[in-house]
Structure 1
Amino acid sequence: MDALQLANTAFAVDMFKKLCENDKTANIVFAPLCTSTSLALAYKATKGDTADQMKQVLHLQDVKDVSFGFQTVTSDVSKLTSFFALKMVKRLFVDKSLNPTTDFVNSTKRPFPSELELVEFKEKTEETRQKINKSLSELTDGKMENILNEDSVSDQTQILLVNAAYFVTNWMKKFPEAEIKECPFKVNKTETKPVQMMNLEATFCLGYVKELNVAILELPCLNKHISMLILLPKEIEDETTGLEKLEKALTPETLLQWTNPSMMANTKVNVSLPKFSVEGDYDLKPLLESLGMTNVFNESASDFSEMCETKGVVLSKIIHKVSLEVNEQGGESREVPGYRILQHKDEFKADHPFIFLFRHNKTRNVILSGRFCSP
């Protein structure tokens, strides 16, 4: 286990739990790796207590070389874009009037190749906003238009952090189109909504958390570069989504333990999974403040002296937009028909709320995570 992967997993779990606290029943999707990468770049610019708080919140205490670690992960993850409809945009827009030192700018070029951009919020606010929107739209293949609305920036904006990510699944084994049926999805104990349910019988990795009565399924995407892990309680036992107990028990440690390959076994499974799309749009400032990252937003306490001599520099805003589409597309399933009658088959029927994460298998970082509670 490398220290950076542990750090990023811990940060992803912290973020997930905060987003769940903010809204007990909403669908959630966010891109933790985008946020930790952008914040790692901002961390490089800070000193003193500001840096210490960021290090704490990002769990970087044991990471020897933060910049090099992220450089490696970014380079590995960026290779995925040739296999998948996956875009992960991470940008730190810094106002030119802050005069970042040449040394600082140069030191970011290698580990964070396209993440730092100097712009003119102060002099040309509206023009800069439009320019950024245009470039973000191009970077996301036109999927994300007008990420910055008119209130997002002003002539007072100093540093703006933007994450924009989207992913469309492409499975190793596609779900047969003929097997997609409309089914009721239990939103809570009493209410259902119709959903397009995909069905597939194949061999997958399945695990079980006995004390929580939760099944965990790994669905590999094409070439096994990425896997979707689904955490599904057996039934809805609480008064909201049925996920309360699981969300409470979820920690960086339990997540790694539950999804450890040694805890899961290859099993013939009948999988039922809804076709769904979720979008997330978050202002992460309050979330990060509640985790203990406060100085970076507070002009009387922040210290960006690794980047510039200007006093009172703050991170003005953090915009986080994510879109995920889960559909049936994928490679041809080449399952050998066996003695089907004799063979035991497990059922994995995601017809009620579940937690999901998409893991990059090479670096074991969580690319996207969230929960699906309602169609």
Structure 2
Amino acid sequence: MFAIRQLLLLIATAMAAAVTCDCSQTLTSQLLQTVVSAQPNDNVIVSPISIETCLALAYLGAEGQTAAELATSLQLPQAGDKRAVAQKFGRLFEKTKSATGTATFRLANRIYIDERFQVSPQYNAYAVDQMHANAESVRFADAAATAANINSWVEAETDNKIRDLIPANGLDANTALVLVNALYFKAKWVNQFHNHTTTRRHFHESAARKVEVDMMKQTDDFLYGDFPELDATAVELAYLDTDVSMLVLLPKSVDGLADLEAKLKSVDLTKLSTAMRTEEVILHLPKFKFEFELELKPVLEQFGITSMFSDEADFSSLLAAQEKVAVSQAQHKAFIEVNESGTEAAAATYLKIVPLSASFQQQTYQFVADHPFVFAIKDNENVYFVGHVTHF
């Protein structure tokens, strides 16, 4: 039997044009709610697109119940038509070609396969030809050297923001295949903050605890919304040379984050902008930078993705040889930095396979993010990164 080990790392920010996957919205809201309910006091960031792309690569090699569970969880509109699914995810890569000016975006897949094996012609046609997941033959028996090779590729794709994705002892002679996804974005704000306006200000981590943080400030026109049904307000900051923006959702009460995130479970974050309008906003937003790590397996199991982690896993379309494979572990690691200039983000995922055993009068609004808030980096169709800030 083979086991697939998946590890996802990411750093956060924006992207470019507007092609993509209709599948992400339910997964995005459920992913955020599931993760934060388990770790409510941690700063969190995840990349729905990177996770979906990695799962799509697995789906292309899956059959039977395993394929059905992945298709349902990913809400694949062409479930069963693997070529169409591969093409749909493959169009994400066209965004890398549309990034211009100061915005940088890279999305890349890679297949590392042991010299003992080959991917099946069918999988090759979908994953390699359509999703640009080039296959490289390696010797997993040379574990440390192969891990260094994979890590070097990830570091190059993420501008050295994702390092040591795979530990030296993370591979061994039994490894058959590793699938890797890397995601990187860097962009400046359309309306940049000025360093001299950043001051030390209190951030209320809870009603009982506050700390001093570097709080950025500017007054300009932003998309702004007041959502009574969420008991929150929102502001959207655009990035330069891209149609991606950062949405910030701020609960009206200091301790309102959990209630807000529970309500967001049924909200499409990409559509909130249509209910917002351009207003003059006095914006206070803290600079923040943090890492996040997550065991993905229990999260995915809550989405109904279970068989691929069991003896019943069916990845019979993955390898040329008819070998039994299953997913044994899923990990996620992330990093984000937001400052006066803009945001930088990256993500990487790997799967390790081993033998199984209207008009308004102008007024100015205040938006002071001085207590826990949700953020999403998105365009009108996709959420690329989502998370929350709870403490410093």
Structure 2 counterpart of 1:137: 155
| One-letter amino acid matched to 2:324 | G
8 A Cα contact 2:300 2:306, kept in partner:
yes
Q: 2:53 & 2:102 partners in 1: Cα distance?
A: 22
Structure 2 counterpart of 1:55: 71
| One-letter amino acid matched to 1:255 | L
Q: 1:208 & 1:350 partners in 2: Cα distance?
A: 14
CA RMSD in angstroms comes to 2.6
Question: Structure 2 unaligned runs (5+)?
Answer: 1-17, 343-360
What is the SS of the residue equivalent to 2:99?
Answer: helix
What is the SS of the residue equivalent to 2:220?
Answer: strand
Q: 2:107 & 2:100 partners in 1: Cα distance?
A: 9
Q: 1:59 & 1:153 partners in 2: Cα distance?
A: 32
- Deviation for aligned residue 1:69: 1.1
Deviations 1:324-351 (CA, angstroms, capped at 9, x unpaired)? 1111116xxxxxxxxxxx9521001101
Does 1:348 find its partner at 2:362?
A: no
Q: 1:315 & 1:227 partners in 2: Cα distance?
A: 34
Deviations 1:295-327 (CA, angstroms, capped at 9, x unpaired)? 2222x2111112224332123444433321111
Structure 1 counterpart of 2:325: 313
Structure 2 counterpart of 1:109: 128
Cα distance, 1:252–1:170 mapped onto 2, change above 3 Å: farther
Relative to the length of structure 1, the TM-score reads 0.85
Deviations 1:49-108 (CA, angstroms, capped at 9, x unpaired)? 010011111121466721111111221255338633555454454444343223422332
Deviations 1:195-245 (CA, angstroms, capped at 9, x unpaired)? 1000010111111211232011111010342100011111224xxxx3111
8 A Cα contact 2:157 2:182, kept in partner:
no
Q: 1:229 & 1:34 partners in 2: Cα distance?
A: 19
Cα distance, 1:325–1:168 mapped onto 2, change above 3 Å: farther
Cα distance, 1:277–1:157 mapped onto 2, change above 3 Å: same
Does 1:365 find its partner at 2:378?
A: no
What is the SS of the residue equivalent to 1:348?
Answer: strand
8 A Cα contact 1:162 1:318, kept in partner:
no
Q: 1:115 & 1:288 partners in 2: Cα distance?
A: 26
| One-letter amino acid matched to 1:302 | A
Q: Percent identity?
A: 28
Which of 209, 213, 218 is residue 191 of structure 1 equivalent to? 209
Q: 1:195 & 1:96 partners in 2: Cα distance?
A: 52
Alignment of 1:1-375 (within 5 A): 5-61=21-77, 65-77=84-96, 79-80=98-99, 83-114=102-133, 116-121=135-140, 123-237=141-255, 242-256=256-270, 259-261=272-274, 263-298=275-310, 300-308=311-319, 309-329=321-341, 344-361=363-380, 364-375=381-392
Q: Which moved more, 1:196-205 or 1:280-289?
A: 280-289
Higher relative contact order (CA 8 A, sep 6+): 2
Cα distance, 1:207–1:234 mapped onto 2, change above 3 Å: same
8 A Cα contact 2:270 2:378, kept in partner:
no
8 A Cα contact 1:165 1:321, kept in partner:
no
Structure 2 counterpart of 1:333: none
What is the SS of the residue equivalent to 1:222?
Answer: coil
| One-letter amino acid matched to 2:95 | D
| One-letter amino acid matched to 2:297 | K
Q: 2:339 & 2:371 partners in 1: Cα distance?
A: 17
What is the SS of the residue equivalent to 1:18?
Answer: helix
- Deviation for aligned residue 1:170: 1.2
What is the SS of the residue equivalent to 1:250?
Answer: helix
Cα distance, 1:31–1:256 mapped onto 2, change above 3 Å: closer
8 A Cα contact 1:108 1:116, kept in partner:
no
- Deviation for aligned residue 1:353: 0.6
Q: 2:331 & 2:134 partners in 1: Cα distance?
A: 14
| Structure 1 or 2: more strand by fraction | 2
Q: 1:207 & 1:301 partners in 2: Cα distance?
A: 48
Relative to the length of structure 2, the TM-score reads 0.82
Question: Structure 1 unaligned runs (5+)?
Answer: 331-341
Cα distance, 1:264–1:373 mapped onto 2, change above 3 Å: same
Cα distance, 1:15–1:269 mapped onto 2, change above 3 Å: same
Q: 1:74 & 1:168 partners in 2: Cα distance?
A: 16
Cα distance, 1:166–1:81 mapped onto 2, change above 3 Å: farther
Q: 2:19 & 2:185 partners in 1: Cα distance?
A: 26
What is the SS of the residue equivalent to 1:147?
Answer: coil
8 A Cα contact 2:19 2:95, kept in partner:
no
- Deviation for aligned residue 1:116: 4.8
What is the SS of the residue equivalent to 2:241?
Answer: helix
- Deviation for aligned residue 1:186: 0.5
